[in-house]
Structure formats: structure tokens, C-alpha cells
Structure 1
Amino acid sequence: MTHDARSALLRAALDAAERGWHVLPLLPGAKPPALHGEASCPRRGECAAGHRKWEQRATTDPDRIRAAWSRAPFNVGIATGPSRLVVIDLDMPKPEDDADTPCGVTSFTALCERAGQAVPTTLTVRTPSGGRHLYFTTPPGIRLPSSKGKLAKKIDTRAGGGYVVAAGSITPTGLYEPVEASVAAPLPSWLLTILKPAPRSVQAPSVAVTAQSRRYADTALSRETHNVATAQQGGREAALFRAARALGRFVAWGDLPRSVVEDALQGAGESAGLTASECRSTLRSALNWSIAHNQQRREAA
């Protein structure tokens, strides 16, 4: 990568931080986080008091950003939860989708029409596939979870527990670039109402159990992503399949959002040499199977 391209990625990270958005480095030319997991945590620096996962380590500190991006031409991730953002991901149909599957833009336009609302104008980033990321801010004190398909088909959201690839980042399929507006608008109240999680009717697990489960899930995500990204030719699809089967249980138990698992393994699979369609097909079948067969939490082996 040229020096100019590397400088542009640093500038993209700093620009996001200037907006108050917490950034993290992603693997060069890919989408998974370029941060150590709990198993390989050095217990130094920002992790001196204990391992901090990627959402906690995302930062707006320009000195830390310059130090990180001086080491490699990292792509830029924005941790949407601490940044108080909801990013609505309007995806394009995949090769395995039905022929009449609408794109996310069409689905979102139809959703707005059914709600009697105009399509909101806000900061919009075009993805390499031709999709759109619509950036919105959330009201103080409101924390929304990430979601998949909750608004409509081919529409996901990145919020708490999720991240989005920032404008200026580059993958083998192209560039993430802003195409509309320059400011993230407040999330419309009617969308906020839809995206708010329903009140839980069952007793939540204790804080200690929940924290332990999520730490284990984060470690597993880091390990499985590494296994897929480093898989050798001839075993890449099998590695991706095994990883999705292993991580699907954490999605079923609520420890990891499905969108985070899919993004991490999709990026790792493409980095290893699989095509985007091969990754999507394998991930869909393996995750669906694992989620369906792991509805009851059990102790991890």
C-alpha cells in the first residue's frame, strides 16, 4: 500500500474521532478487528488491569490513533455503541438469495412509506458491494442492540456490541465512501420505537455469569477468526464451517450478535482466499444449524 493510501486511512480514523466516534483498527484490506483476544492478552498497557475487549479499547484519543496506525495500514472501524450511533446497513441481494429479493434501499424506502414517513436524510456511506450505511445518533441514555432483519429483509443495524467499517477503508472489492450529507442526523423517533428491545419477561442471569459468558464468547470469536484467516488452501472452507458452528451457540445464547460473528468470519474467510459468495453460503448454513441446535445454554467444554 502506498504512503498516500496509508496516510488517508490515518486521516479517516482521526476524522471519525473528531466527530466523537470511537475507532478501532481493522485488519489491512479487511474487516475483522486487528486487536488481540483475551487468550493472547499481554496484560499490559490498556489491559494492565485485565483484558479489555475491542469495544472497550476503541478510542477517540488522537495520540493513540496515530500510534496504532503508524504500525500498519489498518482499515478503520467505528464502535457504534460507545459512539452513540445506530448505523442502518442497507445490503444488496446475495447470489444465494431468491431472484425477487429486494435490495436494502428498496426495503427501507418501502418501510418508510408504510410508516407514513419520508426517507430520512443523514450521513450515508456507500459500501463496496453497492449497499448503503445510514448513520444516526441516539438520544442520551438510550442503548440499542445491533439487529439483523428486524426492520426488513436485507436491513441490519449496528449499535451496541457492533461496529461498522468507516468511510475511507478499502477492501479487495472496493472503497467505503460517503455519498450523501456530512452530518449524522438524530435517529427518527419512529425508528427508535421499532428498534427498542422488548422488555424481558424472564429473570436475567447474574452480572457475574453474564460477564464471564461474554468474556468466553469474545475469546472464542478471536480464536476462531484467527483460525479461519490463517487456514491453508484446501482447508479454508472447512475451517470457516467449523468456526461458524462453534460460534453459533454464542449467538443463540445472546452472548454475541449474529452480525458481529458474520462480519468477523466473512472478513477472515475472504482474507484467507475464499470468495465472498463462498463465505456467505457457508456462514448462513453453519450458523443457522448451530443456532437451531443450541437454544439451551450449557457449560462450554
Structure 2
Amino acid sequence: MSEHLLNAALDAAARGWHVFPLRPGTKRPALHGEKTCTGTGPCAAGHLKWEQRATTDPDRIRAAWSRAPFNVGIATGPSGLIVVDLDVPKDKGSSDAPCGATTFAALCERAGHAVPDTYRTRTASGGTHLYFTAPPGVRLTNTAGSIAPLVDTRAQGGYVVAAGSITPAGRYEALSAPVAAPLPGWLLSTLQPARKPVQAPTGAVTGRSRRYADVALANETRNVATATDGTRNATLLRAARALGRLIASGDLTRTQVEQALREAAASNATQPQHYYDDVIRRGLDWSIAHNPARGRAA
């Protein structure tokens, strides 16, 4: 047993974060998989995955870490955490590519806020994990690049490697702020899935579908035009994602949506237009890519 790894697990548990063992020197869970489950011990009533096995019980933690120098995984869902993972470019030759921290700082600036001061760790690869507490009653899932390149999040169904863990690439280290801050409202708005429109009807009721699309366009553009400071960019991104579904279904054209959102953003602007154009493009690209086409409009 490595004493510092046990202490890292106990420290995380003392914060109320649910931990489980990772294979020594790696980021992979050390617990058995469903195919090799013997149906005994904790799995007597059925196989338990790592998220279900994660615990804050000091006795269970001491018993587990007495067996091997396990790294420490934190199950973000049971821990009530949203962790923003700011990665670095994998291609070391791409010196011009911005890292996740730079991109996230730009997102914060566009939202009218400084980068939040919260508990954070440096990852073994040189990236950063920002820890936030999830709002009560809100269920968020993991994201991978949908906010921005090299900016991922871990929430329900995800985990992160805790400070103190060691891999061949290096050590995970706590950097600053002893407490995880609440998830900022503007970031929550960005992470929440776009509202799903009613499935567009076909055939004889196509006219009704078009009317629904027109109403949705009017509602979303009004939301953007009346958004308050600090929520404007998040509102614009959500609107683009919502309307992107209607581009994918063929009920609206991309040109129509882009023009309407640009005008709405310009009517309430605090940033140069190119900032809003970038948000609109990212939101539409993501939504169109994640929704099935039905006579997609050009």
C-alpha cells in the first residue's frame, strides 16, 4: 500500500466525493467487469459497476487501498460534481493550436465573467480539471468537445482521476482553492441540453410543422434579444442548438436561422459580431450533426 494514495482517497472522501480504486499507475478502474463478476460480496444481489461501488466510507477505503497502491478515481455523479476538463493538444507539433484552458478563458470572457475560482487540479498531461458542485435537482451528463475544442465535462456516468494519483506521464496535483465552487449559471445554461421540439409532422400536416418551426424561430430569437448580461452567449448557444434540429428536419434553412440569430444578437450586443457568429456556428454544427436529417434544407 502507498500511504500517500490512501491519504488522497481519504481526503477526497472527506470532501464528500465518492472514490473507487484505479489500477496502479493508470486511469482505468481496478474493479472487475460484468463478464468476470462472481456475484459475491458487494455484487451478491447483482453486478455493481464502479459508479455504484464508489464510496466515502473510510473503513471501506482503507480496506481497498490496503491491497495495492491504487490510484484514486472520483465518481462525479454520486459526488454531486461537474468537472470541466481542459486538455492540451495531443499533437505536440501543433504549437499554434490553443489549449483547453485558453479556449475556456475565452468562453468566460464572452460570457462576461472571469475564469471561476474553484478547486482545481493539474493533470498528468499538463491539462487542468476545474471542480464545481452541481445545482440541486439538475442532471447533467458527460460532454466531449461540444462546448469547445479540448473542453470536456464529467458529470453523471463519468469520473476523474484525483489529486495524488500517479501515472507514467506524471502526477495529478491540487493547484488552488480548497473548495469546489457552485457551477456558474452561464455554464449551466451552456451544458443543459437544448429543449427538444415536438417531432415535426409529415405528409398532410406539413403546414402545421412549418408553423411550429416559425413559432420556435420567433421564440428563440426573442430569448436571445432579451437575454441579460452574463447569460447572452449561453442563451444564443442554446437557441442555435434548438433551431439546428429544425434545420436537420428540413423545416428551416440554415441561412434563415443564422440571419435571425445574428440580428437578435446584434440588437443586444456587448461583444463584436464575430463572437456571436462563432457561437451560432458551433451551436448549429453540433445540433445538425446530432439530429437525423429529413429533407435537410440547404
Q: Deviations over 1:26-81 (max 9, x none)?
A: 00000000000111111112111111111111111111111100000000000001
RMSD value, Cα: 1.8
Are 1:133 and 2:129 an aligned pair?
Answer: yes
Q: Runs in 1 of length 4+ with deviation above 2 angstroms? A: 96-100, 198-203
Which residue matches 2:77? 81
CA distance in 2, matches of 1:81, 1:183: 17
Question: TM-score when scaled to structure 2?
Answer: 0.65
CA distance in 1, matches of 2:69, 2:94: 38
Are 1:52 and 2:43 an aligned pair?
Answer: no
Q: Deviations over 1:233-285 (max 9, x none)?
A: xxxxxxxxxxxxxxxxxxxxxxxxxxxxxxxxxxxxxxxxxxxxxxxxxxxxx
Moved more, 96-105 or 166-175: 96-105
Q: Which sections of structure 2, spanning at least 5 residues, go unmatched? A: 200-288, 293-298
Q: Do 1:26 and 1:77's aligned partners in 2 also have CA atoms closer than 8 Å?
A: yes
CA distance in 2, matches of 1:93, 1:166: 21
CA distance in 2, matches of 1:144, 1:107: 21
Q: Deviations over 1:207-255 (max 9, x none)?
A: xxxxxxxxxxxxxxxxxxxxxxxxxxxxxxxxxxxxxxxxxxxxxxxxx
For residues 1-301 of structure 1, what are the structure 2 equivalents within 5 Å? 6-95=2-91, 98-200=94-196
CA distance in 2, matches of 1:66, 1:199: 44
Larger gyration radius, structure 1 or structure 2: 2
For residue 100 of structure 1, report the CA deviation from its aligned partner. 2.6
Which amino acid is 2:55 matched to?
A: T
Q: Deviations over 1:187-223 (max 9, x none)?
A: 00100011112344589xxxxxxxxxxxxxxxxxxxx
Evaluate the alpha carbon distance shift between residue 101 and residue 30 of structure 1 in structure 2; reply closer, same or farther with a 3 A threshold: same
| % identical aligned pairs | 69
Evaluate the alpha carbon distance shift between residue 202 and residue 99 of structure 1 in structure 2; reply closer, same or farther with a 3 A threshold: farther
SS at match of 1:179: strand
Q: Do 1:123 and 1:183's aligned partners in 2 also have CA atoms closer than 8 Å?
A: yes
CA distance in 2, matches of 1:184, 1:98: 32
Which amino acid is 1:103 matched to?
A: C
CA distance in 2, matches of 1:196, 1:97: 34
CA distance in 2, matches of 1:170, 1:200: 42
CA distance in 2, matches of 1:132, 1:202: 39
For residue 142 of structure 1, report the CA deviation from its aligned partner. 1.2
Which amino acid is 1:141 matched to?
A: G
CA distance in 1, matches of 2:116, 2:26: 30
For residue 95 of structure 1, report the CA deviation from its aligned partner. 1.2
SS at match of 1:82: helix
CA distance in 2, matches of 1:92, 1:169: 19
SS at match of 1:160: coil
CA distance in 2, matches of 1:182, 1:124: 8
Question: TM-score when scaled to structure 1?
Answer: 0.64
Q: Which sections of structure 1, spanning at least 5 residues, go unmatched? A: 204-291, 296-301
Q: Do 1:24 and 1:54's aligned partners in 2 also have CA atoms closer than 8 Å?
A: yes
